[in-house]
Amino acid sequence: MLTLSIKSVILYFSQVVTGNTKRIAEKIAEGIRSTGSTCELVHLKKFKDDLGIIKKMDFHQYDLIGLGVPVYYFHPPYHILFELKEYPSLNGLKGFLFCTSGGNPGSTLHQMKVILKNKGLQVIDGRDDWIGWDVHQMYGHMGGWLPSSRGHPDEQELNEAHEFGRTMVQKCLNQSTPEKQFWEKDNPSAKMWTFEYMQEWFPEFHLEEEKCTKCGYCAEICPVDSIVLDPFPTWTKDCDRCYICELKCPTKAIWCDWTKQRKYLDDLMSKARKKKT
């Protein structure tokens, strides 16, 4: 019996802090390859470099295109949304979407699909229920991470990702596979945290020059190239507010005041607990 195969590619962005989305992407690729199909992995890391990769890619050589992201504040990382708008025409191609989050992905995949549909991509499947270890300074008083997310993605989720990849091959080959629908409604926090308002609501960056060695690591890991050395780190433009520069600074020279944001989070979690009781 002849086994049909496809040629696929997965483009994904994954934080240097945890690598949650990277682990899921690799498992999906393994699942696709287990059918005898091919699957390339493209790790998106920096906005400018990503645009170069996207511009050079011949997407029409693939039967299936996957895109994966972590969830930032109930949204896709905004720089990824900006990148999606730069994709070429994907007319006639099929795709799937996935994300990892601390437990509430909001309308992340719907937001991505809206842009990709305008590019002509038929999104035939997706998963937004895989949990990733959610490390963030807003959880500083909880150990630095969302307690319920610790240990994720776990073995079960990784196995699910493998199976998801395997089944994607048959869905791609099946001409009657319907378009996938995703959750569209956002909670009040997601509606509030637009890209513009994030720049105002989240804390400013501060630098203790006596601690800074000017190593440049913060600029190296910044996905949107908003940090330049002059000779100390300087934030030159609006960013995704991922705060990885603060989290990963080897000398703790970068700091932000999270008092307001932690109080907001505590109030949200308190309201959620009261609803359950």
Do 84 and 211 belong to one domain? no
Could you say which of 115, 142, 173 is where a domain stops?
173
Domain CATH number, residue 141: 3.40.50.360
Q: Please write down the long-range contacts of 149-154, taking CB distance under 8 Å and 24 or more positions apart.
A: 149/102, 149/103, 152/20, 152/100, 153/20, 153/23, 153/24, 153/100
Could you say which of 148, 173, 198 is where a domain stops?
173
Do 230 and 119 belong to one domain? no
Do 252 and 150 belong to one domain? no
Distance CA 57, CA 245 (A): 30
pLDDT at 4: 83
- Work out the angle at residue 237's Cα, subtended by the Cα atoms of residues 233 and 240, and round it to the nearest 5 degrees: 95
Decide if 225 is inside a domain.
yes
Instruction: Indicate whether 273 pLDDT > 80.
Output: no
Decide if 178 is inside a domain.
no
Decide if 183 is inside a domain.
no
Distance CA 206, CA 212 (A): 11
Instruction: Indicate whether 177 pLDDT > 90.
Output: yes
| Global confidence as pTM | 0.95
Do 93 and 197 belong to one domain? no
Q: Using the 8-state DSSP alphabet, how is residue 232 labeled?
A: S
Distance CA 42, CA 222 (A): 18
225 contact partners, CB below 8 Å, separation of at least 6: 46, 47, 48, 219
Do 163 and 198 belong to one domain? no
Domain CATH number, residue 250: 3.30.70.20
Domain count, the chain: 2
pLDDT band for position 69 (50/70/90)? very high
pLDDT at 277: 65
Do 128 and 246 belong to one domain? no
Do 31 and 123 belong to one domain? yes
Query: Is residue 261 helix, strand or coil?
Result: helix
Do 193 and 154 belong to one domain? no
Q: Please write down the long-range contacts of 150-154, taking CB distance under 8 Å and 24 or more positions apart.
A: 152/20, 152/100, 153/20, 153/23, 153/24, 153/100
Do 168 and 193 belong to one domain? no
Domain around 141: 7-173
pLDDT at 234: 95
Q: What is the mean pLDDT of the chain?
A: 95
Do 218 and 137 belong to one domain? no
Q: What confidence tens digit (pLDDT) does each residue in 201-245 have?
A: 999 999 999 999 999 999 999 999 999 999 999 999 899 999 999
pLDDT band for position 2 (50/70/90)? very low
